[in-house]
């Protein structure tokens, strides 16, 4: 119902705010404040475009009763490709900074990108096997 949706939406928003806060903290610690601000702004614009496309792709779910499963796969594929594209773009962005190193890249990958995804996968696998 609406309560579950509101809890999910609030959780996603809080994770997004926490992620951006962590990025800003790392930017201040490693003295890349301007680059991190540019990266966060770029991600924000990327998410807005992605949300617009997903909303358009959601309309057939309501009006095509036979194509729901196919649309689920299309939307999941689009979100996966968009995440991969944003991930590669972020890697390229941080590797082109003048005084960046693989140490900074390791922190970025572990703290901001991979660990939350691994936690979500573990959570989904645990909850999926419990039912």
pLDDT digits (tens, 9 = 90+) for 93-111: 777 776 666 666 676 667 7
Please say if the pLDDT value at position 90 is more than 70: yes
**Best CA proximity match to 23, nearest among 35, 36, 41, 38:** 36
- On whether the pTM is more than 0.85, the answer is no
- In DSSP notation, 50-108 reads HHHHHHHHHHHHHH-GGGHHHHHHHHHHHHHHHHHHHHHHHHHHHHTSTT--HHHHHHI
């Amino acid at each position: 119902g609406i309560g579950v949706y509101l809890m999910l939406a609030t959780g996603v928003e809080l994770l997004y705010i926490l992620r951006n806060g962590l990025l800003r903290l790392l930017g201040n610690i490693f003295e890349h404040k301007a680059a991190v601000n540019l990266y966060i702004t770029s991600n924000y614009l990327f998410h807005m475009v992605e949300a617009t496309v997903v909303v358009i792709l959601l309309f057939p779910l309501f009006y095509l009763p036979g194509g729901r499963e196919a649309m689920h796969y299309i939307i999941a594929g689009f979100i996966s490709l968009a995440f991969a594209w944003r991930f590669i773009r972020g890697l390229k962005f941080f590797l082109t900074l003048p005084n960046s190193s693989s140490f900074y890249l390791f922190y970025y990958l572990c703290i901001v990108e991979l660990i939350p995804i691994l936690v979500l996968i573990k959570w989904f696998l645990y909850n999926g096997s419990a039912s």
